Amino acid sequence: MRKRLLAAHAANMAVLCLVDQAALGSAEVLEVLAAVCAEVSLVSDDGITDPFALLQFLPTNECAVDADTRRRLVEFGIAACKSAATNDRKGKTLEWLLHFMFSQVQDFRVIKCNYRTATEEVDVAIQLSAINPQRCWADMSKPILVAEAKNWTSKVGQEIVSKLNTIISVKRGACKIGFVVAMAGFTSDARDQVLKLATEDRVFVLMDQQALERWGYAQDFDAELNAIVVEAILD
């Protein structure tokens, strides 16, 4: 089955797999599905779910994975971000990867992915689900974090930082940390805009592909993200 799935993926065929709950507990199965960028539907006594991309499916169904499996799934996810053929697919693939990665942080629960309101769109919305005094985001008075995913071929400029600032400002004081993840990196004016907004009670975390890999491949996943956010605060 592995060979057939890999061959289908190599031939640029879309892969849809029906899985049961037991299959989601197998690291081997998850790695194969991630390697072929599979969409999956869960089969249970209640029927068959609509198909989802694997990295979106796992957090939606609250499936935690071990550290080694997580690193492999992140690796496959980053590869998929780089190889996606269309702009729409590029954007969605990075959103799904971030959905998965943020869902694996012990203190977080991803509440929305690609969330549209009447006035804006948020790629990933995260809720703080527990207080860990060792983490710099441990503030239940501001329990919402947001993330923007930009899988562009060009660097992200200051307009995206400004957009994130607007998103945070209309969250009724419940949000102070925003992430921008840009695979191609950031322009100097984007970083300058972060400094201009530093007087506000807000933290902007700019992550390029190198920073995303640093977090995704870390043995202590939560501690590494905490270190990245602390660096953004102190910068």
pLDDT for 38-76, tens place per residue?
999 999 999 999 998 898 888 887 788 899 999 999 999
Asked whether the predicted pLDDT for residue 30 surpasses 90, the reply is yes
Q: Which helix (H) or strand (E) holds 72?
A: helix 67-83
Residue of 123, 111, 132 whose CA lies nearest to 156:
123
Q: The pTM is what?
A: 0.90
What is the pLDDT confidence band of residue 77, given thresholds at 50, 70 and 90?
very high
Query: 144 pLDDT band (50/70/90 cuts)?
Result: very high
Helix axes 67-83, 87-103, angle to 10 degrees: 170
What are the start-end ranges of the E strands in 105-212?
Answer: 108-116, 121-128, 144-150, 175-182, 203-207
Q: Which CATH number fits domain 105-235: 2.40.10, 3.40.1350, 1.10.357, 3.30.1380?
A: 3.40.1350
Report which of residues 44 and 180 the model is more confident about. 180
Cα separation, 36 vs 79, in Å, equals 11
165: phi then psi, degrees, rounded to nearest 5 = -60, -40
Could you read off the pLDDT of 91-138 as tens digits, one per residue? Answer: 999 999 999 999 999 999 998 777 776 667 889 999 998 888 999 999
What pLDDT does residue 227 have?
Answer: 97
> Contact, 217 vs 101, CB < 8 A?
no
Locate the domains of the chain by residue range.
1-90, 105-235
Q: What is the predicted pLDDT for the residue at 60?
A: 80
Cα separation, 220 vs 234, in Å, equals 21
